[in-house]
Amino acid sequence: MKSRTLSPANAADSESKALIRSLPLKDRVIILSVLALVTLLSWVYLVDMAIDMDNLMAAGHMMQVMEWTTSYFVAMLLMWIIMMTGMMVPTAIPMALVYAAVARKAAKQGTPVAPTSAFVSGYIVMWGIFSVAATLAQWGLDEAALLSPMMVSNSPWLGAALLIGAGLFQFTPWKDSCLQHCRAPAHFISQNWKPGILGAFRMGLEHGIYCIGCCWILMGLLFFGGVMSLLWIAGITLFVLLEKVLPLGDFGGRIAGGGMVVTGLVMLVFWLSG
């Protein structure tokens, strides 16, 4: 019989699954429960904010774009941080579980290790840094009169550019490289292991950098479908999650990228033709 040789991607996936299975059920339940709670609280905030905005719009109080005062900037930054937490924490679950499994093995060997919360905190902080850039981008688009009061693009050119740009990015080596790091938790942890709380925090930051490199332009699509559109937020979250965890997620991402490019081009054609 011929022996079956796993591809590097399949081998990394199998190793990650084996590590997660080696983690005691109690540890898995605790980690999943905490991450689920963080995600749930973030979504409760987003739902509440979306309802408030809808009520203000219905009452005619949001007919104009808000003035960017310091307090408004802070409010928008907080919104982005919570939104990114709610969207991206679920996609980091496999990496967090693998980290916990490796940390447990290291602890048995007498190596000082940090709790999984230190790793996840670094990851969230990196997305918080991204949120600063997203808030500044929203401010710039508002100043250029390219967003509606509901934070949706009111420019066909901007909407088409976001779709085409996000679609083309799916085919770039940068996207592929960052995605492969996110799809291979065991490989990432083994290559980037650092002891101690600060080391775990730095690992979380590094994982966040790869995730941002993979998903930054997809987050730009929020300006196309609506920064506070719950369906749009959930759709992008699901897309990123499936792209990371499904066996052919990277291939499916390129198919979706082609669809984004075609949709953007069709939008331009319809707009130019009147």
Which pLDDT score, from 0 to 100, does residue 5 have?
43
In the chain, pLDDT over 90 holds for what percent of residues?
Answer: 62
The reply to whether the predicted model has a pTM over 0.85 is: yes
Sign of the alpha-carbon dihedral angle for 236, 240, 245, 246: positive
Q: What is the pLDDT of residues 94-125, one digit of tens each?
A: 999 999 999 888 888 777 788 999 999 999 99
CA 217 – CA 206 distance, rounded (Å): 18
Domain boundaries, the chain: 17-151+176-247
- Please give the residue that has the higher pLDDT: either 107 or 176: 176
Q: CA dist 195 to 103, 115, 199, Å?
A: 9, 11, 5
Categorize the per-residue pLDDT at 190 as very low, low, confident or very high, splitting at 50, 70 and 90: confident
Given a cut of 80, whether residue 86 has pLDDT beyond it is yes
Mean pLDDT, rounded, for 122-131: 97
φ/ψ of residue 147, rounded to 5: -120, 145
Residue of 55, 81, 52, 53 lying closest to 65 (CA atoms): 53
Q: What is the pLDDT of residues 23-75, one digit of tens each?
A: 899 999 999 999 999 999 999 999 998 888 777 676 665 556 678 999 999 99
Given a cut of 60, whether residue 4 has pLDDT beyond it is no
Given a cut of 90, whether residue 149 has pLDDT beyond it is no
Which pLDDT score, from 0 to 100, does residue 7 have?
44
- Please give the residue that has the higher pLDDT: either 111 or 8: 111
